[in-house]
Amino acid sequence: MKYSDHARCPGCSGNLVFNITEQMLECESCSSMYTVYEYNNILAEKKKKGSESFSRGALLNVEEGDASKENMLRSYTCSSCGGEITPGAAAATGVCPFCGNALVFTDKYRDQQVPDFIVPFKIDKAQFLEEYRAVLKKRMFVPDAFRVGATFKNIKAWYIPFWLFDVTVSGNASFQVERVSYSNKKYHHVVYSGHGFGSETFTKIPQDASIEVDDRISQMLEPFECTNAPRFSFAYLAGLHAKVYNVSREDCLVRAENRARESFDRYLSDAELYDYYKVTDRQYDYKPLKASYALFPIWHMDIIWQGRKFPCAVNGQTGKTACSIPVSMVKFVCSQLFPWLFCLSLCYWVCALGVIKDGNSMKGMTVLIFLYASVVYVCAKYIFVRNLSTALFSILFTYGAWHFGHEAYKVYSGGEEAFDIALVTAVILFVSIALCCLLWKLVKRQNAFTLAPHCDYCHSDDYQNNVTRSWSREEKKKCNSSAKSIIEGSKRSKNDEDRVGIWYFFN
Site residues, Zn ion (CB under 5 A): 9, 11-12, 14, 27, 29-30, 32, 78, 80-81, 83, 96, 98-99
- CA angle 385/391/394 to nearest 5° reads 155
CB closer to Zn ion out of 81 and 392: 81
Closest separation in Å from C-beta 14 to Zn ion:
4
C-alpha span between 182 and 180 (Å, rounded): 7
Q: Which residues contact 127 (CB under 8 A, 6 or more apart)?
A: 319
Closest separation in Å from C-beta 52 to Zn ion:
20
Helices (H) and strands (E) in the chain, counts: 13, 17
CB closer to Zn ion out of 30 and 330: 30
C-alpha span between 226 and 249 (Å, rounded): 19
Closest separation in Å from C-beta 109 to Zn ion:
21
C-alpha span between 175 and 19 (Å, rounded): 52
Closest separation in Å from C-beta 78 to Zn ion:
3
The answer to whether residues 81 and 96 touch, using CB atoms and an 8 Å cutoff, is yes
CB closer to Zn ion out of 16 and 164: 16
The answer to whether residues 60 and 234 touch, using CB atoms and an 8 Å cutoff, is yes
CB closer to Zn ion out of 27 and 301: 27
Closest separation in Å from C-beta 100 to Zn ion:
7
Give the chain's largest Cα–Cα span.
106
Closest separation in Å from C-beta 27 to Zn ion:
3
DSSP string, 372-424: HHHHHHHIIIIIITT-HHHHHHHHHHHHHHHHHHHHHHHHT-STTHHHHHHHH
Closest separation in Å from C-beta 85 to Zn ion:
8
CB closer to Zn ion out of 11 and 230: 11
CB closer to Zn ion out of 77 and 172: 77
The answer to whether residues 337 and 439 touch, using CB atoms and an 8 Å cutoff, is no
